[in-house]
Amino acid sequence: MNHLETEIKGVQIHPEARIVVKEYEYGALLVTGRDKITCGYGNGDCLLLNMKHLFFALSDSNERYSRASRDILERLCEEVDKKGVPEHKEEWLDLVNDVFAHQKYHHKATFSFAAIRRNATGASICIINGGDSTVHIVNKVTGRVEYRTEPNMNFAGRSKKISGEMELSLKGDGYRLVMASDGLADVARFCGKDVTEMVGAFLSHDNVHEIPEKLRELIRSADLGGTAGNYDDFGIIVIDPMSLKTDSDAQIVMGGTDPGEEDAYQRRIADTSSGDGWISMKEIPEKALRINMCGIRVR
């Protein structure tokens, strides 16, 4: 599937690899944990990419109800469709709290969110975070993590409100936004690093659209080499804020699969005769079934 050396134009989806990229703008990857596959669970990590309004979110639920993560992200999309896109961080917080309040009890899930606004000198980013998924801002030049959310107990399905919002102003194009589930700690372990070192050393470099394939290959190599052990589901979105363009209306939700959906996906990728290749946005209507079978929804 590797096309790191080829030119990528526009949004591209590789359903079987569960990768979404746009050249020089962002990359997203979803991986199912080894123990979840062995035990027949769904993938509780779910990613949301809204290209029209430039907001992104990540949620991580446990195996008791793996769809909880997709439920909350899809409800976020519905609320934005109904109420419109908030202008300010306080409005985003109010909208997110409405979404939180309707999460069913025991449908526990983390919630990490970033809304990006470009300006003449940089970007403004509204960040809202609940649970133990994380949002990082890393300096691409120095590799230093300039900002990181701290884990808290504001899980959807347990709390009715999230703790608060943060707005960061970034000057210039030397910064990268990294949103990741706690599965990043396992990937860092493969590399002999902690999470902060992993973000600074690995995720701050290279073209942003190349990172998902490199991460996927890293996990695959550790798995095949016997150094991975059991690892959790892993979801990540990596963004270069100053490179973002609002030239697509697409919204992608990837993951949050139940056991039946995940089993069908795992059997699909084990079948070497199944479709395997990149799909552009204009090809989505004719290849929607293939995309949906991999736990990806595009609208």
Percent of the chain with pLDDT over 90: 82
Tokens of 275: 């479709």
DSSP class of 201: I
Sign, Cα dihedral of 206, 210, 211, 216: negative
What span, in angstroms and rounded, lies between the C-alpha atoms of 36 and 105? 23
What span, in angstroms and rounded, lies between the C-alpha atoms of 60 and 131? 9
Tokens of 281: 């946005």
**Own/partner long-range contacts of 145-151 (Cβ < 8 Å, ≥24 apart):** 145/196, 145/199, 145/200, 146/175, 148/196, 149/112
Residue 8 confidence class, pLDDT cut points 50, 70, 90: low
pLDDT digits (tens, 9 = 90+) for 180-225: 999 999 999 988 999 999 999 899 989 999 999 999 999 999 988 8
pLDDT digits (tens, 9 = 90+) for 94-129: 999 999 999 999 999 999 999 999 888 889 999 999
CA distances (Å), origin 178, targets 8, 20, 173, 175, 195: 21, 15, 15, 10, 11
* 97 three-state secondary structure: helix
CB 62 within 8 A of CB 108: yes
CB 117 within 8 A of CB 123: yes
Place of tokens 């430039």: 54
Q: Indicate the average pLDDT of the chain.
A: 92
CA distances (Å), origin 274, targets 35, 109, 237, 289, 291: 24, 32, 26, 12, 12
Query: In terms of Cα–Cα distance, which of 272, 232, 284, 229 is closest to 110?
Result: 232
Place of tokens 């394939």: 213
Residues constituting the chain: 299
DSSP class of 259: H
Q: Which residue has the higher pLDDT, 141 or 248?
A: 141
Residue 272 confidence class, pLDDT cut points 50, 70, 90: low
- Residue 276 burial (C-beta neighbours within 10 Å; 0-12, 13-18, 19+): middle
Tokens of 77: 């999309």
Domains and CATH numbers, the chain: 11-298 (3.60.40.10)
What span, in angstroms and rounded, lies between the C-alpha atoms of 192 and 218? 12
Residue 32 has pLDDT above 90, yes or no: yes
Residue 294 has pLDDT above 90, yes or no: yes
HSE at residue 82, side-chain half, CA atoms within 13 A, is 9
What span, in angstroms and rounded, lies between the C-alpha atoms of 31 and 101? 29
